Amino acid sequence: MSTTTVTTGATLMKSTSTGRRFLLLALSLVTVMSITRVWTGYDDLTSSGTIGAALRLTVPILLAGLAGLWAERVGVLNIGIEGMMILGTWFGAFGAWKWGPWIGFLLAILGGAFGGLIHAVATIRFNIDQVISGVVMNIFGLYGARYLSELAFVGQPQGGISQSPPQSSAIPRIDVPFLAGGSVGSRTTGDALGWLEARGWFLIADVAGIVRGLMSGVSLASIIAILLVPASAWVLWKTSFGLRLRSSGESPEAAESLGVNVIRVRYIGLLISGGFAGLGGGFLSIVSSSYYRQGQTAGRGFIGIATTIFGNWRPGGVLGGAAVFGYSEGLKLVAGGSITGLFLFIVLISLALIVVALRAKSTKRALVTTSIGVLALLAYLLVNEVPESLTQSLPYVVTLVVLATASQRLRPPAKAGVPYRPGGGH
């Protein structure tokens, strides 16, 4: 048997094993959530309405997280994602107002990429501190968009200094035929998943609700955004360009010694990062809304940075982190009263993690997880209704919990945030 055959077989086995682990983890989480739903009676925990709202809220955070991932993988901190998203919201809304939503998305990407270029010139060409440059980028995005609004929107119908006129048309939404009640031609088909969801059966209804939420009323823009996750993974880990990009964030001196133009690669990485951030901003003004509104990003750029860390600087992990934020926000919007059911969910998950930590002989992690589980149990037993001020902070609390229990496994790019000059390591 040839070496190539053995290598290919090993790679296939590894890929299959990873896929099975992912499916097992997903099924385990849905099972625990189903137990929680049946126990508490909060059917909205896995309803298609909650999942659909969660998807819409996940996408802009996902794109912001991917923006942070591309920047840090190339070795530059991008604290300015919020400002780049603001530029994306403005240019996206302007394009959608003038020429339609797809042109709006193109302009949103270009607007965010322009912000990425400014950050690149400041940090790479002039060696300005990356955190300071990012903060300035956020201020520039905020006041730059306000200035542009005064020039373009003031005096227009339904426009003003703080908002744009509405877009001329909307992005199409899809309902999958036969599964989620979509149409074939002029004929409306059945809704099999909706029927199963309405039955309320253990696990089956939960899976049906989750899948239906991902197939009903889904914007084409959401589908494209989700596809950017595997696309990013493929480019970063399966192409020579991705290898050069990652090497500039891990060891730029070694990359330069092998002929990689680190400066050029970093410029490209920050342009892509800004493009992702701008696309996330465009989603907010074109899909989540139908116009630009000042303050529309609401800190999602900073949340995106958190999801980059949450996801251990990998696209799939960033998607998981964004989904945590999106789900908690979606649940809050659709059925805020169901949030207390999440406390029981956290208790059950904590029990499983404690077992895993004890088997791994990690006493510290077991103690931290036990503390979290006890607090969640007390909250479930004592709290009847979560105040609005606390529901707003739920995504951040969940992220802190995950980071506290998984911090030992996080591995950022070795040279992320470290200034680099060509020939400096020689």
Q: The domain containing residue 150 runs over which residues?
A: 22-175+217-408
**What is the pLDDT at residue 13?**
44
Work out the percent of the chain whose per-residue pLDDT is above 90: 63
Contact call for residues 124 and 263 (beta carbons, < 8 A): yes
**What is the pLDDT at residue 136?**
96
Q: Is residue 288 part of a domain?
A: yes
Q: Locate tokens 């200035």: which residue?
A: 147
| CATH code for the domain of 314 | 1.10.3470
Q: pLDDT tens digit string along 172-184?
A: 899 999 999 888 8
Q: Calculate mean pLDDT across residues 385-404.
A: 66
Q: Is the pLDDT of residue 238 over 90?
A: yes
**What is the pLDDT at residue 335?**
75
**What is the pLDDT at residue 406?**
57
Higher-confidence residue: 385 or 285? 285
pTM, full prediction: 0.91
Q: Is residue 376 part of a domain?
A: yes
Angle (CA) 5 9 15, round 5°: 145
Q: Is residue 300 part of a domain?
A: yes
Number of domains in the chain: 1
Q: pLDDT tens digit string along 274-316?
A: 999 999 999 999 999 999 999 999 889 998 998 998 889 999 9
Q: Is residue 8 part of a domain?
A: no
Q: Calculate mean pLDDT across residues 351-367.
A: 87
Mean pLDDT (the chain, rounded): 88
Q: Is residue 417 part of a domain?
A: no
pLDDT band per the 50, 70, 90 thresholds, residue 1: very low
Name the 3-class secondary structure at 102.
Answer: helix
**What is the pLDDT at residue 398?**
64
Question: How many of the other CB atoms lie within 10 Å of CB of 185?
Answer: 6
Q: pLDDT tens digit string along 107-152?
A: 999 999 999 999 999 999 999 999 999 999 999 999 999 999 999 9
Q: Is residue 415 part of a domain?
A: no
Q: Angle, to 10 degrees, between the axis of helix 48-73 and the axis of helix 220-238? A: 30
Q: Is residue 135 part of a domain?
A: yes
Q: Is the pLDDT of residue 326 over 70?
A: yes
Q: Is residue 128 part of a domain?
A: yes
Phi/psi of residue 254, nearest 5 degrees: -65, -40
